[in-house]
Structure 1
């Protein structure tokens, strides 16, 4: 077939009910999007109930700062670990919510601006993979969200509400108060297991740096078991080399999750997505995760990174100092790689960066880069995020 034939045309051919008995296919889009500080306008804090299991979504929740007196808590200044917090009920401050994202903060974060951001972001998410599947994505990993409530506000926007998304979220110990989450169309994906994994990072003086957890969600996608891992690894604050050990630690935790799942089922299908704050060729990805960038070399036991080839071509999801980085990536197990044009179960057909023209800054210093809602403290009503989203298309034959 002519390689220039668009995937949309191909998919229409594959899905058509023609008289020649051509096989029909089912498609599902899986996306990831860094929403860049999706906070509500309410000053809030974290409330940790150490009498609950850490795997309980109510173990760590967000509450209004004005409601602190309603909760029975104790003063606490130690390290936030499951062991130390066992049996205790404490309050955890959130930095960004206090200083920036409320009406009287630096961002003048009003209800109107919050609603505008929800509208803008929801419309982008609804478009991920739509050209290929003719519908919204079935699964989307999210990062830089404040709490479960902002995700619920997001999926109840007009662009997404009709798809009836569910939410999986656990509050992390991140000092800035941002977390990861996963949304899914309940009609096509049923959650069977959800769990957060701590990424414990310590400075040389023994002081702990708090970062985002890695979220694991296992479930049945159209009757087929697949595990999704949502990540937001430590930033490059202080410089790439200085901060590299932190991301290597996050990579070690994620590699451990892969190993844990594969020990139970060597043929498990796993899709890891996230803002890794590293590129596909960085040591955390290539060395610690041991990814393979060439599809033809991938075996079932490997981890394939379809975005390595994109990065080597100069493609990226965010710009910094006149260069592109491809921090937002989707990695998959070899069991999801199609090498013989066989789609007897879900396999990756296509992976892409979604960079529609309206997501690109039209003018000024950052022309050509992702169109942010805030440049410093300047608000842009038509802005979105400082990252482009990414997505992959899964395809399988309909029996």
Structure 2
């Protein structure tokens, strides 16, 4: 019988520690800041997020995810605290993280199960963006990780693309640039490994049908298994009553091969059990956020996680 495992992605909504870092603007996320971010709230968020991560894909596979891309983490301390929680500390997780120059001080990272995934190489790729005045617009780097799943080489790109805060059309060129940067990295990978198994995951701040994702990133040679998950009633986040699916995992085609495939794609899903959502009122069903503006709600995140299930032909697992 073929074994199954999950790979996921989760935007953790501003996972900051409570200490002020003079090098980034994290003043709000301190006990004296506007958000009154203290150890009690921090510990609750860590406990909630770790419990959720441990459950992603478990119903289908019987195990917690073997890879988990995350966005909006401040630093290595919060990652150490996350994998050290009661829900994760016995699951053999480690992580890959590189500091990026983002103005908000948030980065991406990749959690991995050390029994199933071995890191061979990692680095970060920067995006050279300009603001309206022509100065450098600092944003999140693309995290590149090359490793093996059960001995089989894979390449993972973890993204958090520029936001839509300036407006969708106004900010679209930045996300197109981010998509093109991913394509450059993919081309570089394939020049050395033509049959490379590649996963491109992240919060793209764009839906599967948005130009930057559909045309610039996926194009004709990658596969986006999340394209049908977005409906009027479901997605990974909401804004002003509408659902969006900014959180996606995109695959190179060799994950899709059905014959003699040691790591074969099976399904994709949004992880949205009722306990992750608002229970009542105007926002019923929406992700239960940590903050709405500066009002503390105490939820885990303003995004739902997404994940992909694969079948493994390795009989030792």
Q: TM-score range by the shorter chain?
A: over 0.9
**What residue in structure 2 maps to residue 74 of structure 1?**
none
Q: Aligned partners of 1:320 and 1:213: how far apart in 2?
A: 25
1:26 offset after TM fit, Å?
Answer: 2.2
Answer whether contact 2:5 2:312 (CA < 8 A) is retained. Answer: no
**Aligned pairs (5 A) from 1:1-399:** 24-45=1-22, 93-95=23-25, 97-98=26-27, 100-291=28-219, 302-311=221-230, 315-338=234-257, 341-381=258-298, 383-398=299-314
Answer whether contact 2:274 2:285 (CA < 8 A) is retained. Answer: no
- Deviations 1:42-81 (Å, cap 9, x if unpaired)? 0013xxxxxxxxxxxxxxxxxxxxxxxxxxxxxxxxxxxx
Q: Aligned partners of 2:269 and 2:198: how far apart in 1?
A: 18
1:379 offset after TM fit, Å?
Answer: 1.8
1:315 offset after TM fit, Å?
Answer: 3.2
1:291 offset after TM fit, Å?
Answer: 3.6
RMSD: 1.3
Q: Aligned partners of 1:126 and 1:312: how far apart in 2?
A: 26
Higher relative contact order (CA 8 A, sep 6+): 2
Secondary structure of the structure 1 residue equivalent to 2:103: coil
1:343 offset after TM fit, Å?
Answer: 4.8
> Residues 246, 358 of structure 1: CA spacing in aligned structure 2 closer, same or farther, 3 A cutoff?
same
Large movers: runs of 4+ above 4 Å:
none
Secondary structure of the structure 1 residue equivalent to 2:153: strand
Answer whether contact 2:229 2:270 (CA < 8 A) is retained. Answer: no
1:191 offset after TM fit, Å?
Answer: 0.2
1:398 offset after TM fit, Å?
Answer: 3.4
1:384 offset after TM fit, Å?
Answer: 0.9
> Residues 313, 319 of structure 1: CA spacing in aligned structure 2 closer, same or farther, 3 A cutoff?
closer
> Residues 164, 398 of structure 1: CA spacing in aligned structure 2 closer, same or farther, 3 A cutoff?
closer
- Deviations 1:287-313 (Å, cap 9, x if unpaired)? 111445xxxxxxxxx210011122267
> Residues 238, 204 of structure 1: CA spacing in aligned structure 2 closer, same or farther, 3 A cutoff?
closer
Q: Aligned partners of 2:233 and 2:282: how far apart in 1?
A: 20
**What residue in structure 2 maps to residue 15 of structure 1?**
none
Answer whether contact 2:161 2:203 (CA < 8 A) is retained. Answer: yes
Q: Which runs of 5+ in 1 are unaligned?
A: 1-23, 46-92, 293-301
1:375 offset after TM fit, Å?
Answer: 1.8
> Residues 365, 106 of structure 1: CA spacing in aligned structure 2 closer, same or farther, 3 A cutoff?
farther
Q: Aligned partners of 1:204 and 1:253: how far apart in 2?
A: 20
Answer whether contact 2:161 2:175 (CA < 8 A) is retained. Answer: yes
Q: Aligned partners of 1:350 and 1:264: how far apart in 2?
A: 29
Q: Aligned partners of 1:322 and 1:43: how far apart in 2?
A: 34
Counting matched residue pairs gives 315
TM normalised by structure 1 equals 0.77
- Deviations 1:345-372 (Å, cap 9, x if unpaired)? 1021111100000011112332221001
- Deviations 1:148-183 (Å, cap 9, x if unpaired)? 110110011011111111110011000000000011
> Residues 128, 343 of structure 1: CA spacing in aligned structure 2 closer, same or farther, 3 A cutoff?
farther
Q: Aligned partners of 1:243 and 1:204: how far apart in 2?
A: 10
- Deviations 1:62-106 (Å, cap 9, x if unpaired)? xxxxxxxxxxxxxxxxxxxxxxxxxxxxxxx311x12x1000001
Secondary structure of the structure 1 residue equivalent to 2:154: strand
